[in-house]
Structure 1
């Protein structure tokens, strides 16, 4: 066997895209990420990604500059494209693309550049690191997520970019919420609001996240206060040019958060709200369908239906959410919550739901929720 240091170097080369794994290693990566070898190491998607970076690099060389305005503009466009791809792309696939772009940003940071160019590179690297952390959380890869969040926060500090800094804290709040630490999620959400620009998306998102955390704590008054603040901020907002962009707040997104929050706090109004959100997410309006968000919306609807005592439909909707293959590991605890409640109430579909959940979620990753 090779020495551990040699294996670590090889893995770093694989994950940075510098070196393609040998066949036996490639198969192991495909098993871990749940993706085909074509997608990870040589299919059409990765060819297109290499072409995109090569095109940016060619433009940089043509401009006879280590960085240059055109290179930065194209890089910034690529960052926006990746953020817009988040709702419709599997986390492992998007993470691979993000890592490739981060490698390119790191190379540019080593070159000659003006102070303004340096800052723009830091900002691009900050957004990419933040998006990478979000993908890691979706995959429940928490140590990697923490490392990328720290990097994003560092880059935001050096670039003096409070919007990225606030998103880092809000993303940490989301991470601890998915892990069941609701009080810390409240504290972090409020901390994100304290540093976020009042006109930016991070401030709205952190307020919505605070409401969700209060709902999990059963604090009805605080939950409704947060929802009211979000509604006041988003009601005059126009739909952004790219509503699917993960870091540009879409007013329709507040409806999805409202549905989640009302379902968690046990409000019967969550049913109608969740139905409307699901219909919108599956329509062609406002940027087109968002399949991954629709899968999460089904979990909101299932939980809301349980509150309304519509037990059979709740089981049916939960089964649909699991069957489409779009739920990510950060959703598994929410699936467990619905399954456990369906079983506890003696719904006929309970056994089928439990089997579907066990098939969806490997045993080491399961989080059981008591009803």
Structure 2
């Protein structure tokens, strides 16, 4: 209102009004830049999230979960402190990335409820940060967790929700189409599987020459893995044993050929189980049992590996009930499950 009367004010009064406005503008600027964050806080968080992502496939999941959870709580505290709008967006994104990783770690530890809660938290923080790619990664995690919980409809919904947020031409679009294909197969929908898998293949062909990186890691292998391992699992569920065997062999070859830094012991183990199930369906229990033992020899026998190994032993026990080798594999899996229970019992739920 003062400035509205500026045109009618005397020169001296006008100068005083403008001087006061300039002082207020400086205060506005100071408030916009005011923050309680240290100068290196965001750089430190970027480094920490990068290290956590590198550790994901290499360290015990419970150990990584505890460390990531500690940082997630710290970021929550920083979001409640005084910070600039730009810093707030970056902190929201870091909170989302930490929750996305916690979703996978909780899934690895066998706690689907906690995993889905963190996947939702990652999606919401990604939305608040205006970070579509983060939202898409969160839904990739939600799709996998729902599949292992035998909720294919929710898995498909999560994959489609992620596709709506994923950047065009990103390898993540391949994974999400492949997730939708896997969900259709889990639901017994062979036509839906074929359509979604063709969409994944089309998206893969349209990827640009240079692959994007996520916290220093090339994400193209994640798309390549989805085009081999997901159809192997899907064909098992659809009863297409010969196609499953071919896909599983390609998946295993792809994993074994990956650079050491990109190797994923748990994915390799699941590929072996898919191949074992294909052999079992094709009438070769001996190779199936041998591959099952190889999968349990993995350095990272997480819940998804134990879950799929349970599918294998259940099928073998039903199809070949009198074979001692089958019973031996079933007993070994039971021992592995028993050893994993203490870690599962100590996974905190979100908010605790």
Q: Under TM normalisation by the shorter chain, which class is it?
A: 0.7 to 0.9
Q: Indicate whether 1:104 and 2:74 are aligned.
A: yes
Paired residues of 2:156 and 2:184 also in contact (CA < 8 A): yes
CA distance in 1, matches of 2:153, 2:258: 38
Q: Over residues 13-39 of structure 1, what are the superposed CA-to-partner deviations in whole Å (9 max), with x where a residue is unaligned?
A: xxxxxxxxxxxxxxxxxxxxxxxxxxx
Indicate how the Cα distance of structure 1 residues 339 and 321 shifts in structure 2: closer, same or farther if over 3 A, else same.
Answer: same
The one of 257, 268, 285 aligned to 2:230: 257
Paired residues of 2:225 and 2:254 also in contact (CA < 8 A): no
Q: Quick check: which has more Rg, 1 or 2?
A: 2
Q: Match of 2:219, SS?
A: coil
* Structure 2 unaligned blocks of 5 or more: 1-33, 342-352
CA distance in 2, matches of 1:241, 1:166: 15
Q: Indicate whether 1:293 and 2:271 are aligned.
A: no
Q: Over residues 298-344 of structure 1, what are the superposed CA-to-partner deviations in whole Å (9 max), with x where a residue is unaligned?
A: 11211222233332101110111123352212333311111111122
CA distance in 2, matches of 1:222, 1:137: 26
The one of 129, 135, 157 aligned to 1:165: 135
Paired residues of 2:49 and 2:97 also in contact (CA < 8 A): yes
Q: Over residues 73-118 of structure 1, what are the superposed CA-to-partner deviations in whole Å (9 max), with x where a residue is unaligned?
A: 3422321332233233322122122123223323433443221111
1:273: which partner in 2? 247
1:304: which partner in 2? 278
Map 1:45-64 to 2 at 5 A. none
Q: Indicate whether 1:248 and 2:219 are aligned.
A: yes
Could you state the TM-score of these two structures normalised by the residue count of structure 1? 0.72
Aligned length: 302
Could you state the TM-score of these two structures normalised by the residue count of structure 2? 0.75
CA distance in 1, matches of 2:215, 2:330: 33
Report deviation, 1:363: 10
RMSD value, Cα: 2.9
CA distance in 2, matches of 1:187, 1:151: 17
The one of 305, 309, 312 aligned to 1:338: 312
